[in-house]
């Protein structure tokens, strides 16, 4: 009985110490970077915040409720999970996507998404992310995104080639044909596929 009680007390003290340490580190980072404090959101699963994570992935529209309640930036708190800052503020997004600093995406995303997305701007940080962004940037120039009528036509052609009887379709060759057609119409569309 004494061993169980001691183990319980030690575990409780450890959780409290780690929680206080994380909060102190977060407060220090906020002061050091001169950030405004964010509103905190505690989900129903206060241990890992899995209900929030699953909820926004299963019902993307539900995140609008959180932004309506907390504003454009809030912090998701949990005891054992990582505290996550969720934002739609344009200034924050611009700072994140223009600096290329290490925001911690690579260790989380790369092992799980590399097979699907490869090594690129969705899965990496730092210099790899900057290189991927540099390759993609010409595709989003004003001349490429101001007139999307040609893209609409090619997508309609792609959909016309997909049977509507529910049978399995290999989309890779159809997508490849569509991308090639787009690149013929817009010479810069495939610039991000050509390595430097």
Q: Over the stretch 88-131, which tens digit does the pLDDT of each residue have?
A: 888 887 777 666 566 677 887 888 888 888 888 888 888 888 88
Q: How far apart are CA 187 and CA 196, in angstroms?
A: 17
Q: Over the stretch 23-40, which tens digit does the pLDDT of each residue have?
A: 787 778 777 777 777 777
Question: Could you give the angle at which helices 62-70 and 50-58 cross, rounded to 10 degrees?
Answer: 120
pLDDT attached to residue 194: 41
Task: Give, in degrees to the nearest 5, the angle at Cα 189 between 185 and 194.
Answer: 125
Q: How far apart are CA 191 and CA 119, in angstroms?
A: 17
Flag whether pLDDT at 148 surpasses 80: no
Q: Is 123 exposed, middle or buried (0-12, 13-18, 19+ CB in 10 A)?
A: buried
Q: What number is the average pLDDT over the span 41-46?
A: 72
Q: Over pLDDT 90: what percentage of the chain?
A: 2
């Amino acid at each position: 009985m004494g061993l169980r009680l001691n183990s319980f007390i030690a575990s409780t003290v450890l959780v409290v110490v780690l929680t206080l340490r994380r909060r102190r580190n977060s407060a220090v980072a906020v002061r050091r970077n001169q950030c405004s404090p964010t509103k905190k959101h505690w989900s129903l699963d206060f241990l890992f915040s899995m209900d929030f994570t699953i909820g926004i992935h299963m019902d993307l529209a539900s995140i609008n409720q959180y932004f309506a309640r907390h504003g454009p930036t809030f912090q998701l708190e949990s005891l054992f999970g990582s505290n996550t800052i969720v934002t739609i503020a344009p200034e924050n997004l611009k700072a994140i996507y223009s600096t290329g600093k290490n925001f911690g995406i690579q260790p989380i995303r790369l092992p799980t998404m590399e097979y699907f997305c490869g090594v690129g701007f969705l899965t990496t940080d730092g210099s790899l992310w900057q290189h991927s962004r540099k390759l993609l940037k010409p595709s989003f120039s004003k001349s490429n995104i101001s007139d999307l009528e040609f893209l609409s036509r090619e997508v309609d052609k792609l959909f016309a080639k997909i049977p509507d009887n529910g049978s399995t379709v290999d989309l890779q060759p159809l997508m490849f044909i569509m991308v090639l057609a787009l690149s013929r119409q817009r010479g810069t569309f495939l610039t991000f596929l050509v390595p430097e």
